[in-house]
Amino acid sequence: MAIKYTAKVIEHFKSPHNIGVIENADACATEGSPACGDEITVYLKIDKATDRIEDVKFQSYGCASNIATGSIITDLAKGKTIDDAEAITWKQAADELGGLPPVKMHCSVLAVDGLRSAIRKYKKEVKGIDYDSTLDVKTVTEELKHVLWPPVGVDIITLKMVKYIGIDQGAVRVEVSIGSDDKFLDPTIDEIVEHVSKIRGVKSVNVENV
């Protein structure tokens, strides 16, 4: 069955706003998921006196939803302070596009992650604010809120699909409950590994379907 997009998604896909590269950007960051094949790079130009985003551009390597969410998230961020832009949510981005198919909601998460990563990189390098987190169950849980279950576009923590998180000297074990023959099982496990592996101090990630 063909995926149905809103007119706003199609508009931003065909004529994306703010696409390109900012030379000598104050910050840039790339976020991507080999599990779904999408990637986005966000570039920021920031007024250091006001902390306001003067310009923002993105490059997208992915599907129509990936391009459209990159376009809308940069529209939302331009002109805002870095604190206000950092507070933009993936749901807000999806709503601005008139909604996304559940199976494509992860693209909105990816776009927001790209923007936040660029902002936090700027804050760390220019303002000395350290965002590195301690490896604990709470940190892993928060990261897993970025992993969406494709059929409904809701994160696996909210859906109570994660049954156990254990940590032992940098080795993280995550137990999930998904049908063994579900077509989204393997991609979801891959995404869990990708997200948890980004946390400082993680040495290995083992995901078991129980």
Active site residue 28: no
Q: Are 35 and 187 in contact (CB under 8 A)?
A: yes
Q: Identify the pLDDT of residue 32.
A: 84
The model's confidence at residue 112, banded by pLDDT at 50, 70 and 90, is very high
Q: Which of 147, 165, 143, 163 lies closest to 155, judged by CA?
A: 147
Active site residue 36: yes
Residue 53 tokens read as 């985003």
Q: Identify the pLDDT of residue 36.
A: 65
The residue annotated as part of the active site, out of 76, 107, 109, 162, is 107
**Which sign does the torsion angle of CA 98, 93, 106, 176 carry?**
negative
Q: Identify the pLDDT of residue 34.
A: 63
Q: Which residues sit opposite 206 in a β-bridge?
A: 173
| Mean per-residue pLDDT of the chain | 93
Give per-residue pLDDT as tens, 53-85: 999 999 998 889 999 999 999 999 999 999 999
Q: How many residues does the chain have?
A: 210
- The pTM is what? 0.82
The residue annotated as part of the active site, out of 22, 25, 35, 36, is 36
Residue 36 tokens read as 């779904």
Q: For 2-104, where are the alpha helices, taking DSSP H only?
A: 7-14, 64-77, 82-86, 90-96
> Which three-class secondary structure state does DSSP give residue 180?
coil
Helices (H) and strands (E) in the chain, counts: 7, 8
Give per-residue pLDDT as tens, 12-47: 999 999 999 999 999 999 998 766 678 999 999 999
Residue 208 identity: E
